[in-house]
Amino acid sequence: MDALAPAPLALGALADDPGFLLRLAQLRAYAAFFDEFADEGLTPGVFSMLLVIDANPGVRQGVLADALSIKPANMAKTMRRLEMDGLVNRITPDDDRRAQHIRLTDKGRALIAAHAGRFRAQAERAVAILKPGERRTLVALLQKLAGRDAP
């Protein structure tokens, strides 16, 4: 008979697979972001680009793409849109005229400043089920996993 398949589904070999759990956890984190920013038309990808540009004024476009694991081809399209939206400036430096140096405009800085509080709130909410110590541990382990820990 077919009365098996219990209510909380058995995950089998998936139950402790890091890749699968990372996917589920990330879906939840993205959902928290969209809950907070649904009305703004702001995506996690664009917001993280703006934050990293803010932390690295004049960063080369390809370096930014590399840091965020985005293909240069796709970065080009997004940067063109952000420039047209007036959020970033792109400057061709004299010492290497192939490159594009990127900075936030005042409008770009104002945008992330206006959303910084809600961004932090969303990040907290995404891991609200964890105790404070657990959150710190999780972040530290993910930093290590992503090659982003302090050496």
Partner DNA sequence: TATTGTTATACTCTATAACTATA
Partner DNA sequence: TATAGTTATAGAGTATAACAATA
List residues near DNA by CB under 7 A. Answer: 43, 45, 60-63, 65, 70-77, 79-80, 90, 95-100
Least distance to DNA, CB of residue 125, Å = 18
Size of the site for a copy of itself (CB under 8 A): 68
| Residue 73 binding partner per list a copy of itself, DNA, none, with a CB distance cut-off of 5 to 8 Å that depends on partner kind | DNA
- Cβ(50)–Cβ(87) below 8 Å: yes
Which DSSP letter does residue 41 get? T
Least distance to a copy of itself, CB of residue 55, Å = 3
Report if residue 138 touches a copy of itself, rule: CB under 8 A: yes
E strands, the chain, in order: 59-60, 88-91, 101-104
- Cβ(80)–Cβ(12) below 8 Å: no
Per CB under 8 A, which region of 71-79, 81-89, 115-123 contacts a copy of itself? 115-123
Which DSSP letter does residue 39 get? G
- Cβ(122)–Cβ(32) below 8 Å: yes
Contacts of 42 (CB under 8 A, 6+ apart): 115
| Residue 143 binding partner per list DNA, a copy of itself, none, with a CB distance cut-off of 5 to 8 Å that depends on partner kind | a copy of itself
Least distance to a copy of itself, CB of residue 94, Å = 10
Least distance to a copy of itself, CB of residue 78, Å = 16
- DSSP letter for each residue of 85-110: TTSEEEE--TT-TT--EEEE-HHHHH
| Residue 38 binding partner per list DNA, a copy of itself, none, with a CB distance cut-off of 5 to 8 Å that depends on partner kind | none
Among 9, 38, 73, 84, the residue binding a copy of itself under the rule CB under 8 A is 9
